[in-house]
Amino acid sequence: MPGTSPGLRLTARALLLDMDGTLVDSDAVVERVWSEWAVRHGLDPRDVLPVVHGRQGWATMAELLPDRPLAEHHADNRALLAEEAADTVGVVPIPGAARFLDAVRHVPHALVTSADTALAGARMAAAGLRVPELRITAESVGLSKPDPEGFLKAAAALGVAPADCLVFEDSAAGVEAGRAAGMRVVGVGPRAGAFAPTAHVATLEAVRVRVLADGVVRLCLTPAGE
């Protein structure tokens, strides 16, 4: 896989950060809420859980219930988002997330998440993490990952070319969205390695950040499994 040599170094002018699975471990809540949703709709949670990560809920619903009107998916998703925001039991930071966010505080960066503003705020607060000033949430886009809209909007808002951005993601939809935006992608966590990101780390503990004099960010990565 490209980018898996020890001590891999990447440079960028902006960092675009997914939330769930990348900064915040919310798998316990996601599995709880979506398992209950699956049962309510006569679906097997074992078939639902593998496809819920990374995308907006309505997009997942449209795949699982293709004959249901889109308006119903959106209404159902609004209810599910509120349910998820109210349930933060088991939400914890990904190891190294707080240190990483502190290291990039003065670097152009953005949160690019499929969560809405309320859910993003609830989960980042539950994990005790700083919320980046620039946030591209579900309300900011018309399309869900794997569409690149969110990442492209973040790059434009930061005034940085897509090729100079580095995405941090954990899901298939997120990695695909980053690549579609013309960006390099660092996969974070156990799911990400299967989706051929540019580089793959086990957690953010494996990332070291250095800001150079010209504003370029240099990242030293210890690849997963090493």
Written as tens digits, the pLDDT of the chain (226 aa) is 344 445 799 999 999 999 999 999 999 999 999 999 999 999 999 999 988 888 899 999 999 999 999 999 999 999 999 999 999 999 999 999 999 999 999 999 999 999 999 999 999 999 999 999 999 999 999 999 999 999 999 999 999 999 999 999 999 999 999 999 999 999 999 999 999 999 999 999 999 999 998 889 999 999 887 6
Contact 101, 23 (CB under 8 A): yes
Is 18 known to be catalytic? Answer: yes
Q: Given 20, 27, 116, 170, which residue is catalytic? A: 20
Within 10 angstroms of residue 174's Cβ, the number of other Cβ atoms is: 35
The Cα 121–Cα 113 span in angstroms is: 11
Domain parsing of the chain, residue ranges? 8-26+91-221, 27-86
First to last CA, the chain: 14
**What per-residue confidence (pLDDT) applies to 226?**
67
Q: Given 18, 76, 116, 170, which residue is catalytic? A: 18
The Cα 153–Cα 183 span in angstroms is: 13
DSSP state of 82: H
**What per-residue confidence (pLDDT) applies to 224?**
84
CATH homologous superfamily of domain 8-26+91-221?
Answer: HAD superfamily/HAD-like (3.40.50.1000)
Is 147 known to be catalytic? Answer: no
Our measurement of the distance from residue 116's CA atom to the centroid of its chain's CA atoms, rounded to an integer in Å, reads 12
Q: Which residues, listed in sequence order, are joined to residue 184 by a DSSP beta bridge? A: 166
Burial class (CB in 10 A: 0-12, 13-18, 19+), 111: buried
